[in-house]
Amino acid sequence: MYHHIKKLMYTVKVDDPDPRFGNMLLEQFGGANGELAAAMQYSIQGFNCDDPERKDLLMDIGTEELSHLEVVGALARMHLKPMKKSANRDAAEADPLVAIAGGGGVSLFNSMGAPWTADYLKITGELDVDLRSNIAAEARAKIVYERLINLCDDPGSKDALQFLMTREITHMKAFTLALESLGKDPFSIGNIPPTPVLVDEYFNDSTGVGDEGETDAKGPWNSGGSWIFVEEPELEQGVENLTGAPQAKNGKSGTSKVKSIAGDESPKKKRSA
């Protein structure tokens, strides 16, 4: 059951309305990383969750995101208010869709006028996978709020955005700890185990020196521990199949090398007339 209280979660004050900034704020109202997307994602994950404790977490945060949507909506509406004046051509030109179709109010569009869609939602029905998606969603939203703050000159707006940005980190912490509390290996996804050896092979598929001096890099993501570093797998003598026998690119057993483009490939037979 939902209950609406006629008070914003965070009081919004705008001293200097800016319709162009109001348009930017719509990214967090009806955009891919916005508050409605977060509210729907977490709530629907909660509806599907059989774990009562984590379901409570998802419903708590999903409901708070609806409150954030209200704050963003109020903030955007205040900045878009000059569009309500029919003679204010400059304000209307900041976003004709909002001015003409919406009368200067908010709607479920992003900052470019694309309509909100359920395609934004990441819902798998696997609790640990969904929690990882939620952590990433909060990180993306945090960055969007940070950019909005950097593009804002109104102190009251910046205060509200700072509040919203901070809550993204709060939710990220909660989702992260909920994931850790499941006690699963961080790379254990689903029930079917990965193929041994293959799971530890790192393919060095970006080689050479780039135009800006980029070179091959080594780090914990491809060396040390159980990693097997495979140098230029496409240029090596085949690849290992699951039994350890050499396997050519065509899938047939063999030891032939992949030919380079330097002209050493075998000439093709001519078709008969």
User: Which CATH number goes with the domain that contains 26?
Assistant: 1.20.1260.10
Residues (pLDDT < 70) of the chain are: 85-87, 235-273
Please count the structural domains in the chain.
2
Which of helix, strand or coil describes residue 180?
helix
| Contact indicator for 94, 83 with CB cutoff of 8 Å | yes
Q: Report the pLDDT value the prediction gives residue 269, as an integer from 0 to 100.
A: 46
Q: Report the pLDDT value the prediction gives residue 235, as an integer from 0 to 100.
A: 64
Q: Report the pLDDT value the prediction gives residue 67, as an integer from 0 to 100.
A: 98
Enumerate residues 6+ apart whose C-beta is below 8 A from 204: 216, 222, 229, 230, 231, 232, 233
Q: Report the pLDDT value the prediction gives residue 208, as an integer from 0 to 100.
A: 80
Residue ranges making up the domain that contains 123: 19-181
Which of 181, 206, 241 finishes a domain?
Answer: 181
* One domain, residues 103 and 48: yes
**Cα dihedral sign, 28-112-14-83:** negative
Q: What tens digit of pLDDT does each residue of 103-136 get?
A: 778 899 999 989 999 999 999 999 999 999 999 9
- Quick count: other Cβ atoms within 10 Å of Cβ 134? 26
- What's this model's pTM, rounded to 2 decimal places? 0.81
Let me know if residue 263 belongs to a domain.
no
Q: Report the pLDDT value the prediction gives residue 92, as an integer from 0 to 100.
A: 75
Q: Report the pLDDT value the prediction gives residue 247, as an integer from 0 to 100.
A: 47
Residue 209 CA, chain-centre distance (Å), reads 30
Q: Which two tokens stand for residue 38?
A: 């977060």
Let me know if residue 8 belongs to a domain.
no
